[in-house]
Amino acid sequence: MKKITIIWSFFFIAFITTTYAQHKEAYPFENEIIAFKKADSLKMPAKGGILFIGSSSIRLWGDLEQRFPDKQIIKRGVGGCELAHFPAYYMDAIVYPYEASKIFIYAGENDINNGKSANQVFASFKQLWRLIRAKQPETPIYFLSIKFSNSRTKGFDEVRKANVKIRKFLKRNKNAAYIDVASPLFGTDGKPDDTLFKNDRLHLNTQGYDRWQTVLQPYIN
């Protein structure tokens, strides 16, 4: 009897472990998405707001809403997510429900850092584009260029290539724009200015976001 109990315990633990692992893999940053959905269930943003989606550069922009006080900003930045995660997992949760009047996208940096090529990033962007356009054919879509940071210099070539591909694509489409938010972060030496970044040399500090605000203001207005 004791032997049977041990065997069943083993299979139960194996089942739980496998199920948990599969669940994690199938839904990156699930806890953050659940938190957004819970917040929306308590108070859903009015339709027609300005939606910012993307990775931690959006999530960590703590005063984004306060910088544009006369606009309804909906901030949906997700941890260290990849651009690829949006078309794969997040559309029904944090894109479609808001019926945004404008959509700003910052993502792709983590894809490249995780080993994906510029072509793969571009493919993910086009997939996201098609999904948005299927629901909102006229909504302006703005892509914030992938920034360069001194903590991720190995990916610079792929960042440049991805930015070029997305810029050319958006230039051919209406109600869309590529916004260069990378160049304003360069110093006089043409390299990322560390004084605009936090100590990790990856995420922007207040001064870095000041630069972004200046660039984005005309598009938000």
pLDDT at 24: 54
Amino acid at 178: Y
On the question of pLDDT at 111 being above 80, the answer is: yes
pLDDT at 21: 46
What is d(CA 20, CA 24) in angstroms, rounded to the nearest whole number? 6
On the question of pLDDT at 205 being above 50, the answer is: yes
Tokens of 163: 């930015």
pLDDT at 14: 46
**Length of the chain in terms of residues written:** 221
Which whole-number Å values give the CA distances from 131 to 41, 95, 124, 125, 146, in the listed order?
Answer: 24, 10, 11, 10, 21
What is d(CA 107, CA 72) in angstroms, rounded to the nearest whole number? 21
Tens of pLDDT, residue by residue over 55-85, are 999 999 999 999 999 999 999 999 999 999 9
Give the contacts of 84 (CB within 8 A, at least 6 positions apart): 111, 116, 120, 121, 124, 127
On the question of pLDDT at 102 being above 70, the answer is: yes
Tens of pLDDT, residue by residue over 123-158, are 999 999 999 999 999 999 999 999 999 999 999 999
Please identify, in words, the CATH class of the domain defined by 44-220. alpha beta
Amino acid at 19: T
State the pTM of this model.
0.89
Tokens of 98: 């808001």
**Residue 25's pLDDT band (cuts 50, 70, 90):** low
Tokens of 210: 């000041």
pLDDT at 16: 43
In whole angstroms, what separates CA 203 from the centre of its chain?
13
Structure-model confidence comparison of residues 184 and 16, the more confident one: 184
